[in-house]
Structure 1
Amino acid sequence: MSSQIKSIVEAMLQPFMDEHGFELVDVEYLKEGSNWFLRIYVDKEQGIDIDDCGRVSEFLSEKLDENDPIPTAYFLEVSSPGAERPLKKPDDYRKVIDKQVFVTTYELIDGLKEFEGKLLSYDEETLTIQTRKKKVNIECAKIASARQAILF
């Protein structure tokens, strides 16, 4: 059900996003405690601001009210993906080549499940990270989560 709602919301939003120069980074529909949340993460080249989030929220609220695809009560949240942006789509990875990333895997690779370092390369099958100690090749199918990392 969650993936179906995600697809419906993405289809509703994409024309609006394209028209306004926004990028739909991610859609989440999940339960936390007793509450359901529909979270929309948006961005644009110059960065997203509160007014942009408000416009997306207002548009989506109207569309959801018209079509009513979600059978339960939920909270709608629209925000930027943040500085440590999640990497979900191939273009997300391509945009951060030569930048710091943090990747977790479903299974051990060289005895580890967490890797942080510079993303050296990416194709839709494998990515290569230069950690402090060595280069690590990770099959994309083994990635549990990935995000851009900020160095302090």
Structure 2
Amino acid sequence: MGTGLKKKLEEIISGPIEKLGYEYVYMTYGNEGGQWFLRVFIDHPEGIGLDDCEKIARHLSRILDEGDPIPGRYILEVSSPGLDRPLIKDRDFERFKDHMVVVKTTSAVNGRRKNEGLLKGLLGDEIIIEVGKEELSIARDIVSSVNLVPQYNI
């Protein structure tokens, strides 16, 4: 998706999602097998259920039909970001402080491009995680992704 279209879509959909009390996490737009998909990921402190996704999908459908920012046909899907949700915005790093995360980087940090540890937060332009008893600072400009590590209580 071009940067211009992505920015335009985010401007159109993020506000209405947040006005309904949900968090806009991120979206993707792409072609799979000849069919275009707009996937919007939302969250809520109490979790996301099917009713939430349907409610947001209906609301966004009306908004997108009115403005018609996407040329041609596409399928709109709304869902939760999952238990392994990505951390993208600064507020994500605050909200999920003291949770386990996997940080993938474009170049090695401590000899690895994938580091798992306890998220301690942000410090300037660095992500701080605790690996074992050691704190590791990772520059955000080499980070390709940060995801929660699902924790299961069995």
TM-score (normalised: structure 1): 0.90
Distance 1:119 1:68, change over 3 A: same
Q: What's the counterpart of residue 26 of structure 1? A: 26
| In structure 2, C-alpha distance between the alignment counterparts of 1:99 and 1:106, rounded to whole Å | 23
Q: What's the counterpart of residue 142 of structure 2? A: 142
Other structure's SS at 1:4 match: helix
| In structure 1, C-alpha distance between the alignment counterparts of 2:112 and 2:42, rounded to whole Å | 32
Paired residues, number = 152
Distance 1:58 1:124, change over 3 A: farther
Q: Flag structure 2 segments of 5+ consecutive residues without an equivalent.
A: none
Contact 1:102 1:116 (C-alpha < 8 Å) held by counterparts:
yes
Identity of aligned residues (%): 35
Deviations, residues 124-145 of structure 1 (Å, cap 9, x unaligned): 4001111237332100111101
Contact 1:30 1:38 (C-alpha < 8 Å) held by counterparts:
yes
| In structure 2, C-alpha distance between the alignment counterparts of 1:94 and 1:72, rounded to whole Å | 39
Runs of 4+ in 1 over 3 A off after TM superposition: none
How far is 1:92 from its partner?
A: 0.7
Other structure's SS at 2:26 match: strand
Contact 1:53 1:78 (C-alpha < 8 Å) held by counterparts:
yes
| In structure 2, C-alpha distance between the alignment counterparts of 1:125 and 1:15, rounded to whole Å | 27
Cα RMSD (Å) of the superposition? 1.7
| In structure 2, C-alpha distance between the alignment counterparts of 1:5 and 1:138, rounded to whole Å | 30
Q: What's the counterpart of residue 9 of structure 2? A: 9
Deviations, residues 55-111 of structure 1 (Å, cap 9, x unaligned): 111111112112211113222110011111111111111111111001100111122
Amino acid corresponding to residue 48 of structure 2 in structure 1: I
How far is 1:32 from its partner?
A: 3.0
Q: Flag structure 1 segments of 5+ consecutive residues without an equivalent.
A: none
